[in-house]
Structure 1
């Protein structure tokens, strides 16, 4: 949730009451590059690694408005018009996974995003950017609460099971109950090469203080993390049959106000770290992947960051150690070589 300014006029004098950020006092770490501007309002990125040529990888990012889009950027931050999905009714968050079986003999990488105003979850193939969802799948359809925000999806993360390679989508919403805030859908293959969705569980505690938007899944370790914005980072098992009990909650004291985007840097030896946006302070908090212990905070010079994403493999001469991408509130995304975060 972004902050704002209130302008009051008293006897001809304007007074600005700032509800905005208190900028980090940490040393500044500048991005390697900044993308071109989207039309409206950036929110959340997802990085696709091109398996044939990593230098041709794509960063997808949401442009959150009624006539919004999923923008595609190359590694120079330039918009790839042919890979951009337009005409989306307020796309909020985006995620992707590799090698989804669209038929018995064919796989494709997939991108998922929420289309809030249509109350839909969307799935497209990557990199050919073809819809696989028949126009969208309605989420939270069984929730008859009169508050429209209870059916309005925001956060989404995909999960590919390390146990049986099943694919899932974990979806959050603009507002919801104190229990079962999130729904988990299994993504299945249909005979007509489109995907199907089966609701497999409802889970996730909500403090009721603000909202839940950022969701990230550590596939290899089998954990879901989400930001209960005013109450901490919550951790659950990703496998539906492991139960709905919260594993842990951490980080509340490390943030000034809203706890926002989560990115998980993973390495094959099991090491890695979580990167979480401390939105109003204008910095990022780093946590150990295994223990979730706080490591440090970094000032990456973004403002009011919602979403972020990370990959740990070399992509090109600029991003030799991997890539971290963070949304900035001027309608751009910031790109960093991952070494800058270590």
Structure 2
């Protein structure tokens, strides 16, 4: 998560681009509320520098009631929750570790990007005990950095999406995506890099000028939220200050599903926007990509909204927000998202888990957690 552009125009930005997606009024947003939530995590010394970021859902192979939600807590490692939101296990990131994104493969294997060390980390789920065990090969290679000295610059592994033995990983502060093959040897797990792909860092606007998103010196527009569509052999990648990309993994053809609202907007040296952009409805950052059946979901982090598209055509289907409800507070500035269409106890048409970047009550401390939502509320079953 990185919010670099400051909005100064009353009422937001005038939407001028992406005709197929523009013009969605907030008045037409659905509102759904969370069913339950996980315990608060506090990003301070007393809380162990725990900062919730990205969730994943593991469905138990024989007893769905024992399914799990696994969430990253950055410097504080991983948290493992049951379907009632109760914490079952806490796994530290270790010296220098910072767990950013998480996903689950079909082999009861949890995969994590350790952005502090520029490596993938692997944990095996025991279906009997529901405990996660570290099975990372001690000699796993660096994802992107040339050596440990370069790791210190923290242009390291960041976003993550997996499908089978394929792991797509983004590199922090760059436009680079890496594609890796997960090698499971039974006892330990490692990986090897297949390929890389660089997204654009500069863009030509309608008036013929070149535009780049505002960032600190030496930083390019990065990707975090990603999901792999194994049916179509496609990667959806959210380039945070640019838009949502659809990438054909066979041809590497890249097309934009929707630009962020701020795309093309002029800004001052301190990244304050001074005029309208050419983009669509998503307010940067674009985050939290997930797939449910024929639907693609992403988080509009800048205005705490969520957008759902038809997975096959990429046409918009609905938008929603998550305000305060009778049992939990709402969801603001959401980063990661995970969803399953498998019927689970309490969630007969599937479970949607969202990161909440501003959990309340917070006791005047930086607080985050994960919210559980019943997919039926979206009316898209």
Residues 1:132 and 2:126 are matched in the alignment: no
Match of 1:234 among 245, 252, 259: 245
- 1:200 equivalenced with 2:203 (yes/no): no
RMSD of aligned C-alpha atoms? Answer: 2.7
Q: Which moved more, 1:205-214 or 1:288-297?
A: 205-214
- Quick check: 2:55–2:70 contact (8 Å CA) kept in 1? yes
Partners of 2:80 and 2:111 in 1: how far apart?
Answer: 14
Structure 2 Cα separation of the partners of residues 4 and 303 of structure 1: 17
Look up the SS of the partner of 1:51 in the other structure.
coil
**Alignment-derived partner of residue 250 in structure 1:** 257
In the TM superposition, residue 143 of structure 1 has moved relative to its aligned partner by 8.4
Cross-structure match for 2:106: 98
Q: Does 1:36 align with 2:30?
A: no
Asked if residue 57 in structure 1 is aligned to residue 70 in structure 2, the reply is: no
Alpha-carbon offset, residue 196 of structure 1? 2.9
Partner of 1:309: 338
What is the number of equivalent residue pairs in this alignment?
297
SS where residue 238 of structure 2 aligns?
A: strand
Judge conservation of contact 2:99–2:112 (CA < 8 Å) in 1: yes
* Structure 1 residues 18 and 52: CA distance shift in structure 2, 3 A: farther
Q: Which residue of 2 aligns with 1:104?
A: none
> What does 1:289-308 correspond to in 2, within 5 Å?
289-301=311-323, 302-308=331-337
Structure 2 unaligned residues grouped into runs of 5+: 13-25, 42-46, 202-211, 214-220, 260-279, 324-330, 360-367
Corresponding residue number in structure 2 for 1:123: 122
**CA deviation string 1:15-49 (max 9, x = no partner):** xx999x98x66453111111112342110000000
Local SS of the residue matching 2:132: coil
Post-superposition Cα deviations, 1:79-118, rounded to whole Å, max 9, x if no partner, equal 012xx3223421100001113xxxxxxxxx1110111111
Work out the CA distance in 2 between the residues paired with 1:74 and 1:244.
Answer: 38
Which range moves more in the overlay, 218-227 or 131-140? 131-140
How far the C-alpha of 1:52 sits from its partner, in A, is 1.0
TM-score (norm 1): 0.79
The range that moved more, 130-139 or 114-123, is 130-139
Q: Which runs of 5+ in 1 are unaligned?
A: 7-16, 100-108, 161-166, 267-271
**Alpha-carbon distance, 1:129 to partner:** 1.6
Provide the rounded CA distance (Å) in 1 between the counterparts of 2:5 and 2:319: 26
Contact 1:206 1:212 (C-alpha < 8 Å) held by counterparts: no
Normalized per residue, the structure richer in strand is 1
Judged with a 3 Å threshold, the aligned counterparts in structure 2 of structure 1 residues 233 and 324 are, in CA distance, closer, same or farther, namely same
String of CA shifts for 1:219-243, please: whole Å, max 9, x gaps. 22211110011221111234xxx23
Identify the range of structure 1 (89-98 vs 228-237) with the bigger mean alpha-carbon deviation. Answer: 228-237
The change in CA–CA distance for 1:202 and 1:144 in structure 2 (over 3 A counts) is farther
User: For the Cα contact (< 8 Å) 1:69–1:87, is it kept in 2?
Assistant: yes
The corresponding residue for 2:91 is 85
Give the SS at the match of 2:105. strand
